[in-house]
Structure 1
Amino acid sequence: MLQIEDTIKTFLSTPENNSLSPHWGFRAFDQPLVGYADGDDPLFTAIKNDIGTFYQTPREAFRQAFPGTSPKHIGVIAWILPHTERTRRAHRSMTDMPSLNWSLARLFGENVNENLRRHVVTALTASGLRALAPTLAPEWTRAQSPRYGFASTWSERHTAFVCGLGTFGLSDGLITAKGKAIRVGSVIADCTVTPTPRPYTHHQEYCLRTHGVDCKACIKRCPAHAITPSGHDKEQCKTYIRGSTRPYVEEQQLGVPVNSCGLCQTGIPCEAGIPKLVQRRLKLSRNQTASCPQ
């Protein structure tokens, strides 16, 4: 099969494909992480059952894009695009509004991500496979989850979670080996992939609070007070972005409205990696499990 990881890295290594803006000579993202999952992994169905019936499994998304087809195998490819140290440093210094770098990465960086999705689909198609990026499909839409409020028919973060790339934090952001200051993308195709091992068993395993640490870093970083020890209030978060940061970006930064915030993704222990304490404890736990007598 096509060497998809090389395809992704080669695309991002080309400066014009990975630019923070058309006018700046800085890249949008550092080296990516890439993970894989079987499209019929039961965890996709468990996520659908948790979020709502509108949520699509990979096979459902594929059938919608290619009606009347039922391939034997569905492969899922997900990637993590880490923000650069330059962007993270600029954003770390902000308190209630996003940095210019972060807003640029939110606008032009997501354009990079969208182009990468299209590039991967094109490469897979050229190799004889049928492929799609669910978030770019015309059928993708927002919906209301009975349990979680506003949601959508496909989640890049949940897909990356299944693909072994990270677990969720208190703020609902995905904590990965490259941290939480990231963007995420994914593609599905009628192919067989070797699933990336998931080195976790809990959906918040990389969060310090799961390990008994009273970390309040993302709580303190949120200007909307939308993060509490109980979790993330998505409506409160959305209200702040739409009412404060979005108009700020339009009026003070880019001249166009952009849903930029992400302050809870920097200035925290999981900004650029899995917290060291979590790494140590997980390693200890796995070593203990491996040494238990049968």
Structure 2
Amino acid sequence: MKTKLENMIKEYVENYPKNKDTKSKWREPLISYADADDKEFYTLKEIVSPTHALPKDFLQEATTVVTYFIPFDESIVKSNINDKYSSKEWALAYIETNKLIFELNTFVMNELKKIGYKSNVIPATHNFNEKKLISDWSHRHVAVIAGLGTFGLNNMIITEKGCCGRVGSFVTDIKINPTSKIKGENCLYKSMNICKKCVDRCVNDALKIESFNRYKCYEMCLDNDRYHSHLGLMDICGKCLVDLPCSTKNPINR
């Protein structure tokens, strides 16, 4: 069943640009799994928020949490390197990938239902407290528990295909063995105390080595939303993700 599920996800992403006539393109997604009863999910109520959900809050019969990373095509990554504001390509990729994740999760749910399994639909974003700017289901933290990647200094997930892309997740009652958790760090700074390039690339002075001001970060995201208002909702920036050793690959060789 694991192979069937992975093929379902990969084929949907591969065919999405043609089926939906999107401007954006993506590389093949990475997929990882966590046990829905993993005790680390309880720690997210301390690390992220006391209101952070548990897998069985979405599906009582949940046995597995499925997480996946959809990497942007490298042309999208390169487009966002210059200037203060996000590129049009990056803005569209954000909008179209959020839609892709929602539609992918819906597709998987309906396909699994046909063969007697259950899953749920969790949107890619905009499920957060707008005052605290904290999510009640952090796809990134869940992805770390599932062994999909580790957090970089820029607070993004660094996977084997880098950090430029979007993370999605859902829970299911299919029993799949958990992916091995990553030992060590994928971030050059956290691993070897070198790089820190993401800090230098922050355009609104929100990211520091020792701290992160989520309000200043979101301020810039809203500036981008206004700048690209004709495209749709895209409260994102992405400058601290591009032109880095970890943008499109894991910089740590193990």
TM-score by length of 1: 0.79
- Which residue is 1:208 aligned to? 188
More helix by share: 1
CA–CA separation in structure 1 for the residues paired with 2:46 and 2:179: 23
Q: Is the 8 A contact 1:18 1:112 kept in 2?
A: no
Pick from 156, 160, 165: which aligns with 1:173? 156
Residues 19-168 of structure 1 aligned to structure 2 (within 5 Å): 19-21=21-23, 27-63=24-60, 71=61, 74-92=63-81, 94-135=82-123, 141-143=127-129, 149-168=132-151
Q: Is the 8 A contact 1:170 1:232 kept in 2?
A: no
Deviation of the 1:49 alpha carbon: 2.8
- Which residue is 1:286 aligned to? none
CA–CA separation in structure 1 for the residues paired with 2:163 and 2:187: 10
| Secondary structure at 2:245 match in 1 | coil
Deviation of the 1:211 alpha carbon: 2.3
CA–CA separation in structure 1 for the residues paired with 2:233 and 2:59: 33
Deviation of the 1:174 alpha carbon: 0.6
CA–CA separation in structure 1 for the residues paired with 2:121 and 2:50: 20
For residues 198-241 of structure 1, give each alpha carbon's deviation from its aligned partner in whole angstroms, at most 9, with x where no partner exists. Answer: 1225xxx1111112323221111111111111132111101122
CA–CA separation in structure 2 for the residues paired with 1:266 and 1:274: 13
Question: Identity of counterpart residues, as a percentage?
Answer: 27
Structure 2: unaligned runs, 5 residues or longer:
none
- Which residue is 2:11 aligned to? 10
Q: Identify if the C-alpha distance between structure 1 residues 115 and 223 changes in structure 2 by more than 3 Å, giving closer, same or farther.
A: same
Structure 1: unaligned runs, 5 residues or longer:
22-26, 64-70, 284-294
Q: Which amino acid aligns with 2:225?
A: R
CA–CA separation in structure 1 for the residues paired with 2:232 and 2:133: 24
For residues 66-120 of structure 1, give each alpha carbon's deviation from its aligned partner in whole angstroms, at most 9, with x where no partner exists. Answer: xxxxx3x51111110000011112112x231111110110112221121111111
| Secondary structure at 1:134 match in 2 | coil
How many equivalent residue pairs?
Answer: 252
Q: Give the stretch that moved more between structures: 101-110 or 209-218.
A: 209-218
Deviation of the 1:151 alpha carbon: 0.9
| Secondary structure at 1:232 match in 2 | coil
Q: Which amino acid aligns with 1:74?
A: T
Pick from 212, 215, 220: which aligns with 1:235? 215
CA–CA separation in structure 1 for the residues paired with 2:172 and 2:232: 35
Q: Does 1:246 align with 2:225?
A: yes
- Which residue is 1:24 aligned to? none
Larger radius of gyration: 1
Q: Identify if the C-alpha distance between structure 1 residues 185 and 177 changes in structure 2 by more than 3 Å, giving closer, same or farther.
A: same
CA–CA separation in structure 2 for the residues paired with 1:13 and 1:4: 14
Q: Is the 8 A contact 2:69 2:166 kept in 1?
A: yes
- Which residue is 1:270 aligned to? 246
| Secondary structure at 1:227 match in 2 | coil
CA–CA separation in structure 1 for the residues paired with 2:127 and 2:92: 25
CA–CA separation in structure 1 for the residues paired with 2:149 and 2:119: 24
CA–CA separation in structure 2 for the residues paired with 1:57 and 1:109: 24
TM-score by length of 2: 0.91
